[in-house]
Structure formats: C-alpha cells, structure tokens
Amino acid sequence: MIITCPSCSTKYQLNEARLKRAQVKVRCMKCKTLFIVRRRNLNQEPVKGAETMAPTVPRRTPPVDNSRCVTMTICNQKGGVAKTSSCMNIGISLAQMGKRVLLVDFDVQANLSVLLGKFNAKSFFDVMDSQNESIDQHIIATDYGLSLLPSNTKMALLAKKQMQQGDYEYLLTEKLNEIKKEYDYILIDTPPSGDFFTLNALLASDAAIIPTQCEYLSINGVDHIVRMVNVIKEKRMHHLNYKVLVTMYNADITAANVILDKIKNKYGDHLLNGIIQMDGKVQESQINQKPLHYYDAGSRAATEYSAVAKELMEAQLK
C-alpha cells in the first residue's frame, strides 16, 4: 500500500505483510516525523516517541534511454576476478576499434582511475554534490583514446548520503542518460558487492559482463549477479542482458577445466566464446603503469581482450 507522510507528503510503499497489528508507527525517512498507519483505516496522524521503521523506497518508472550507446556493467560479487582489468582492457580495445568510449569508475577503491593515471580527480560523488555542474564537467580525457569518470575516496559517502534521501536507484541512469549520445560504449567498473553501486550500475546498463575465474567461489559470485539481473528484468521491466567472461584461465590446472565445463553447461549462450588466459603481462603492465595494449600490444591477454571486445560489439546487447 502507498502511505503518505502527513508532514512533508513524501510517499512510501509499505509492505502490507508488516502490518501484523491494527496499527503501526512509521518514521518518515525524509523529515523524521512519526506517524501512525492503520490497517483498515489509513488515516495518519503525527505521534510522539516510537520505534523507527524504515519505509520501502517507492518504485518508479525507469528513465527512458533513446540513445544507441551500449552500456555495460563489469561486476561480480567476488573480488580479484579481473573486473577492473577487464573493464580497462575491453574499453581500450573498443577505443582502438574507433569507438567513442567512456569508462566509469564506480568503485571507492578507484583501481581503474589509478591504472589510468587519474587518481585524486573528481568522482560521481562530486557530480551528485554539485548544484550547477553537469556530469560532462567531471569527465576527463585519458592518454588512451577514451574518457573516464574517475572515482575518489568521497565515493564511500555516496551510498549513505543518497540512500537517506530515498529515491536512489536511478541516480547513475539519469546522469548517464544526459551524455549517452556522445558515446558508443560506456563501461562501468564496480566493487565486489551487490549493493548500492552495483544496483545503480546495472539499472543504468544494457548488459552485465560478469568476469569469473574457473574457481568455485567465483561462480557463486556469478550466480548472485545473475539472480540480481533476473530480479531487475522482472520487477523493473528492464531488458538487461548478461554475459559471463572467463578470466585468468590456466589450462594446466585440472580443476579449472572441470569448472570451465560446469560454466559452459550452466550459462550456455551467455558464456562469451573469448576466454582470457592467465598472462603475467597483465600484472607487468600494471606495475609499469601502462594499459596492457600500450605495454605489450602483442601479448596473449591483449589479443584475447581485443577478441572479446569484438564479440561484445557483435552481440546485439541493446
């Protein structure tokens, strides 16, 4: 049922299952007023002193995206599966194929910004914090033919601040919609979680790209994202697609081959044909502070990432 705060008129969706008693006390997250909600009679009146119950944020119609830009979120609940490396290397591959690419660093760790030599710049926090500046003013050029919306430590405050204000799930969608016409591809790097950041990123995307190693726990992380994708598709009427990308594959390890077979069976057409193998050049390039394609363009991993980028271009994700 929809309830309305009698003080500030903010509307909330209240789960009827929570109304076990004839009346409950609810605190408005916006103006902090306490008011009573009755089961049968929905008249509400302010009261003094009661326990807090956080109302559910109201669902609303998703903002419309009329652009041709394809947006992809690189995500897996597990850390260290090559999310950031894949985001950068696929992004650079697409840029080298002449595409207009924006990378969004949506992780407070800011690893993507560091790898691109752009740490200590502004972030999506500053986009939301500024009154008059557009998202465009926070996007910076890199030396590698693509643009970056960097991250910084202030991103740690973003989730708390925005969630307190209620309607937070489409923040990134709305900001990216302002600039999508300027890009062919937007790639969003996310933290190893399924929280505020990943949800905002997925809602703004056409596809989730889920990197995974051929390890049991990484697949658990894939399952978690696939469940999120399915909930978003069902509850938000979203066309969200997903692709699984095997990373750091080592054919000499028997267990890796067993798990690769499981991944093939489980995800079928959602598994990208291109596989990224374990390649010391990836780490070497990061130590030398150069993207892989600029450090060693002929390396196995650089070639494999270019092939994956091509596969994604042909995949009709939008």
Ligand X SMILES: Nc1ncnc2c1ncn2[C@@H]1O[C@H](COP(=O)(O)OP(=O)(O)O)[C@@H](O)[C@H]1O
Name the residue nearer to ligand X (CB basis): 144 or 170: 144
Region from 123-131, 140-148, 159-167, 278-286 binding ligand X, contact rule CB under 6 A: 278-286
283 binds, among Mg ion, ligand X, none (CB under 5 to 8 A by kind): ligand X
Min dist. Cβ of residue 215 to ligand X (A) = 12
Handedness of CA 143, 276, 278, 246 (dihedral sign): positive
Contact flag: residue 289 with ligand X (CB under 6 A): no
Q: What is the dihedral of CA 175, 233, 102, 148, to 10 degrees?
A: 70
Which helix (H) or strand (E) segment is 141 a member of?
strand 140-141
Positive or negative torsion for Cα 182, 183, 189, 193: positive
113 binding Mg ion? (CB under 5 A): no
User: Of 7 and 193, which has the nearer Cβ to ligand X?
Assistant: 193
Q: Which partner from the list ligand X, Mg ion, none does 81 bind, CB cut-off 5 to 8 Å by kind? A: ligand X
224 binds Mg ion (CB under 5 A): no
Q: What does the alpha-carbon distance between residue 260 and residue 269 come to, in Å, rounded to a whole number?
A: 14
Lookup result for tokens 């599966």: 81
| One-letter identity of residue 72 | M
Nearest to 40 by CA among 62, 14, 21: 21
Nearer to ligand X, 168 or 249 (CB): 249
201 touches ligand X by CB under 6 A: no
Hey, CA dihedral for 10, 27, 127, 173, is it positive or negative?
A: negative
80 binds ligand X (CB under 6 A): yes
Q: Is 82 in the site for ligand X (CB under 6 A)?
A: yes
Query: By rule CB under 6 A, what count of residues binds ligand X?
Result: 17
220 binds ligand X (CB under 6 A): no
Q: Which one, 7 or 277, has the nearer CB to ligand X?
A: 277
Tokens of 94: 């697409």
Cα-only R_g, the chain: 22
Considering only the stretches 35-43, 55-63, 74-82, 234-242, report the one whose residues sit in contact with ligand X under the rule CB under 6 A. 74-82
Amino acid at 60: R
> Which one of 93, 111, 151, 213 is in contact with ligand X (CB under 6 A)?
111
HEC sequence for 19-40: CCCCEEEEECCCCCCEEEEECC
Q: Binding to ligand X by residue 307, rule CB under 6 A?
A: no
Binding status of residue 78 toward Mg ion by CB under 5 A: no
For Mg ion, the binding residues (CB under 5 A) are 83-84, 111
For ligand X, the binding residues (CB under 6 A) are 79-85, 111, 247-248, 276, 278-279, 282-283, 286, 301
